Amino acid sequence: MIDPFGRHISYLRVSVTDRCDFRCKYCMSENMTFLPKKDVLSLEELELVSAAFIRKGVRKIRITGGEPLVRKDIMTLFRNLGLYLQSGELDELTLTTNGSQLEKYAGDLFAAGVRRINVSLDTLNPYHFQDITRWGNFEKVMRGIEAARTAGLHVKINTVALKGFNDAELGDMVRWTGERGMDISFIETMPMGAVDGLRSDQYLPLSEVKQQLAQSWTLTPSAYRTGGPSDYFDVAETGMRVGFITPLTHNFCESCNRVRLTCTGMLYMCLGQEDSADLRAALRRDPSRAALDAAIDEAIGRKPKGHDFIIDRRHDDRPAVKRHMNVTGG
Q: What is the CATH number of the domain that holds 298?
A: 3.20.20.70
The pLDDT assigned to 313 comes to: 46
Stretch (H or E) spanning 75:
helix 74-87
Residue 211 lies in a domain: yes
List of residues 6+ apart from 269 with CB closer than 8 A: 3, 259, 275, 276, 277, 299, 300, 302, 303, 304
Residue 4 lies in a domain: no
Half-sphere exposure of 256 (CA within 13 A, CB side): 25
Residue 100 and residue 119: Cα distance in Å, rounded? Answer: 9
Residue 6 lies in a domain: no
The pLDDT assigned to 49 comes to: 97
Residue 5 lies in a domain: no
Q: In 10 A of CB 288, how many CB atoms?
A: 7
Residue 2 lies in a domain: no
The pLDDT assigned to 193 comes to: 47
Residue 232 lies in a domain: yes
DSSP 284-306: HH-TTSHHHHHHHHHHHTT--S-
Give the residue numbers spanning the domain of 185: 11-328
Is 296:62 a contact under the CB 8 Å cutoff? no
The pLDDT assigned to 274 comes to: 78
Residue 70 lies in a domain: yes
Residue 93 and residue 85: Cα distance in Å, rounded? Answer: 8
Q: In 10 A of CB 37, how many CB atoms?
A: 11
- Sequential pLDDT tens for the chain (330 residues): 998 989 999 999 999 999 998 888 888 777 788 888 889 999 999 999 999 999 999 999 999 999 999 999 999 999 999 999 999 999 999 999 999 999 999 999 999 999 999 999 999 999 999 999 998 999 999 999 999 999 999 999 999 999 999 999 999 999 999 999 999 999 988 664 454 555 567 788 999 999 999 999 999 999 987 766 778 999 999 999 999 988 665 556 777 889 999 999 999 998 777 789 999 999 999 988 999 999 999 999 998 877 554 444 454 455 444 545 555 665
- What's the total number of domains in the chain? 1
Residue 252 lies in a domain: yes
